[in-house]
């Protein structure tokens, strides 16, 4: 669909084409030179890149983004990341669709990224099984494989205490990504060993220096859990668990143990360091909720969002993402007046279970201050809460599982900022 540009924009472009640039001061000459260089690349002229041979075929050997996209990068959560515990965030304000490129998938690790030789890597399966087994990578890839598109979200994604007004959606929601994951059903591997009927829990342990380990209910292990070795069509990146990781669709990110080396079956949770010292939810009465695995329904507007700028009033398409660890997204409503009124957004296909869903809403901005929010509903009927509703139930002492409605403020001058 073609969209007519506002008259002001079209006039400005005509001026540039005719060289109608008026400058004053000592920088006039340099500015004129730069303006003419731009002018030379605009219609009706042939741009410079049509007058010379392009880059050689197959150079570089592994494709890279355009240098004009050099600012579309992961950014660390902490100003000075360490190898002991670090995280980087996906730049959702720069992305389109629902798939995260491998090089922009968020990271979270506890003791750096191990350099693992896949030929020497082994997966041990023992405990309450009839036949303890050790698998090589060759053994794993011989099993029937499956590919599914799922989101993955850190339980610490989004902050209970809020972010600064300058925060972008990368800062507020960047520890979440979505990819096509390829591997073997965990149930297939478990049945190979023969499950003891007493097995109710599974310990998953990684091969990093932290020995990251989490207890997983056997019901989840036998449902949709995967042992993954590929992401978006290529082998896992080292920071995503190369050569092997556990993937538990809809569960908090830390349970999707990377660099997977051991699975142990037992009759009760293993109460590891990683599930007792952290990843529990401290409630207002001082009690701690444990094993709150599922990431509840959540959404966020990615355009317009924090750090962006609307140059003029008129038509814009509000766009964002919604997801739920319990299944498919069935509805997203958008408000431009801080939740006073709502309009139903259009959901873009595909709409998949435990996967990001892109939503869109046409909007004409009249140039006055606006407060943008999105609110999603999943197929279980769960409605994304407001911050006040969530705090009323959970308090402000938790570090995990924050899924409240996000607000972006659009000022009269078009700047967009986070509402803390």
- From CA 7, how far away is CA 379, in angstroms rounded? 44
Per-residue pLDDT of the chain (420 residues; tens, 9 = 90+): 444 444 343 434 444 334 444 444 554 555 555 566 678 899 999 999 888 888 877 778 888 899 999 999 999 887 665 667 789 999 999 999 999 999 999 999 999 999 999 999 999 999 999 999 999 999 999 999 999 999 999 999 998 887 788 899 999 999 999 999 999 999 999 999 999 999 999 999 999 999 999 999 999 999 999 999 999 999 999 999 999 999 999 999 999 999 999 999 999 999 999 999 999 999 999 999 999 999 999 999 999 999 999 999 999 999 999 999 999 999 999 999 999 999 999 999 999 999 999 999 999 999 999 999 999 999 999 999 999 999 999 999 888 999 999 999 999 999 999 997
Query: Which helix (H) or strand (E) is 125 found in, with range?
Result: strand 123-127
Q: By C-alpha distance, which of 203, 226, 225 is closest to 125?
A: 203
Which strands sit side by side in the sheet containing 416-418, from one edge to the other?
343-344, 329-335, 370-378, 407-410, 416-418
Cα-flanking dihedrals φ and ψ of residue 158, to 5°? 75, 145
Q: By C-alpha distance, which of 385, 325, 320, 382 is closest to 357?
A: 320
pLDDT of the residue at 20: 41
Going by DSSP bridges, is the β-strand pair 260-266/123-127 parallel, antiparallel, or unpaired? parallel
CB atoms within 10 A of CB 297: 26
- For residue 116, what are its two tokens? 């693992």
Cβ within 8 Å of residue 356, ≥6 positions away: 98, 151, 178, 321, 322, 323
How many Cα neighbours within 13 Å face the side chain of 40? 10
Cα-flanking dihedrals φ and ψ of residue 150, to 5°? -135, 150
CATH (residue range 102-289): 3.90.420.10
pLDDT of the residue at 342: 98
- From CA 373, how far away is CA 299, in angstroms rounded? 9
The string of DSSP letters for 78-108 reads: SSS--SSSEEEE--GGG--SSPPPGGGS-EE
Taking a C-beta distance cutoff of 8 angstroms, is the pair 374, 405 a contact? yes
Bridge partners of 87, per DSSP, are: 108
Establish whether the linkage from the previous residue to 60 is cis, with ω within 30° of 0.
yes
pLDDT of the residue at 61: 83
pLDDT of the residue at 81: 59
pLDDT of the residue at 13: 41
Cβ within 8 Å of residue 286, ≥6 positions away: none
The string of DSSP letters for 134-154 reads: EE-HHHHHHS--EEEEEEEE-
Map residue 46 onto helix, strand or coil.
Answer: coil
pLDDT of the residue at 7: 38
CB atoms within 10 A of CB 238: 16
The string of DSSP letters for 256-314 reads: S-SSEEEEEEESS----HHHHSSS-EE-TTS-EE----B---EEEEEES-TT-B--SSE
pLDDT of the residue at 80: 62
Residue ranges per domain, the chain?
8-50, 102-289, 298-418
- Are both 102-289 and 298-418 of the same fold? no
Q: By C-alpha distance, which of 228, 224, 222 is closest to 193?
A: 222
pLDDT of the residue at 190: 98
- From CA 220, how far away is CA 255, in angstroms rounded? 11
Q: Which CATH number fits domain 298-418: 1.10.3720.10, 3.40.50.720, 1.10.8.640, 2.60.40.650?
A: 2.60.40.650
Q: By C-alpha distance, which of 300, 301, 302, 277 is closest to 290?
A: 277
CB atoms within 10 A of CB 160: 18
Taking a C-beta distance cutoff of 8 angstroms, is the pair 133, 192 a contact? yes
Q: Between helices 28-40 and 7-17, what is the axis angle to 10°?
A: 100
């Amino acid at each position: 669909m073609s969209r007519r540009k506002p008259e002001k924009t079209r006039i400005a472009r005509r001026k540039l084409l005719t060289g109608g640039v008026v400058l004053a001061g000592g920088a006039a000459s340099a500015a004129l030179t730069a303006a003419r260089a731009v002018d030379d690349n605009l219609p009706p002229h042939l741009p410079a890149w049509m007058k010379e041979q392009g880059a050689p075929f197959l150079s570089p050997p592994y494709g890279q983004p355009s240098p004009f996209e050099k600012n579309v990068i992961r950014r660390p959560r902490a100003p000075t990341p360490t190898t002991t515990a670090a995280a980087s965030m996906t730049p959702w304000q720069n992305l389109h669709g629902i798939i995260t490129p491998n090089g922009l998938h968020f990271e979270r690790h506890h003791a750096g990224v191990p350099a693992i030789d896949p030929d020497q890597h082994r997966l041990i399966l023992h405990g309450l099984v009839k036949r303890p087994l050790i698998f090589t990578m060759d053994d794993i890839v011989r099993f029937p494989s499956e590919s599914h598109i799922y989101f993955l979200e850190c339980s610490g994604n989004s902050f209970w205490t809020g972010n600064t007004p300058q925060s972008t959606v990368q800062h507020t929601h960047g520890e979440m990504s979505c990819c096509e994951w390829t591997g073997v059903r965990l149930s297939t591997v478990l049945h190979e060993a023969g499950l003891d009927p007493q097995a109710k829990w599974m310990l998953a342990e990684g091969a990093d220096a932290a020995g990251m380990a989490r207890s997983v209910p056997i019901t989840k292990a036998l449902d949709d859990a995967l042992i993954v070795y590929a992401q978006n069509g290529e082998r896992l990146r080292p920071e995503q668990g190369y050569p092997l990781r556990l993937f538990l669709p809809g569960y908090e990110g830390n349970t999707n143990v990377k660099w997977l080396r051991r699975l142990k079956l037992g009759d009760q949770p293993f109460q590891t360091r990683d599930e007792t010292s952290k990843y529990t939810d401290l409630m207002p009465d001082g009690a701690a909720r444990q094993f709150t695995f599922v990431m509840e329904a959540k959404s966020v507007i990615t355009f317009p969002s924090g750090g962006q700028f609307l140059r003029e009033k008129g038509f814009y398409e509000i766009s964002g993402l919604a997801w739920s660890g319990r299944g498919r997204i069935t509805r997203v409503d958008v408000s431009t007046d801080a939740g006073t009124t709502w309009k139903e957004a259009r959901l873009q296909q595909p709409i998949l279970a435990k996967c990001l869903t892109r939503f869109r809403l046409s909007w004409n901005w009249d140039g006055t201050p606006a407060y943008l929010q999105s609110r999603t509903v999943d197929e279980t009927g769960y409605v994304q809460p407001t911050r006040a509703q969530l705090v009323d139930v959970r308090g402000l002492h938790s570090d995990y599982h924050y899924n409240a409605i996000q607000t972006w403020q659009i000022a009269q001058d078009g700047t967009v900022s986070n509402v803390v």
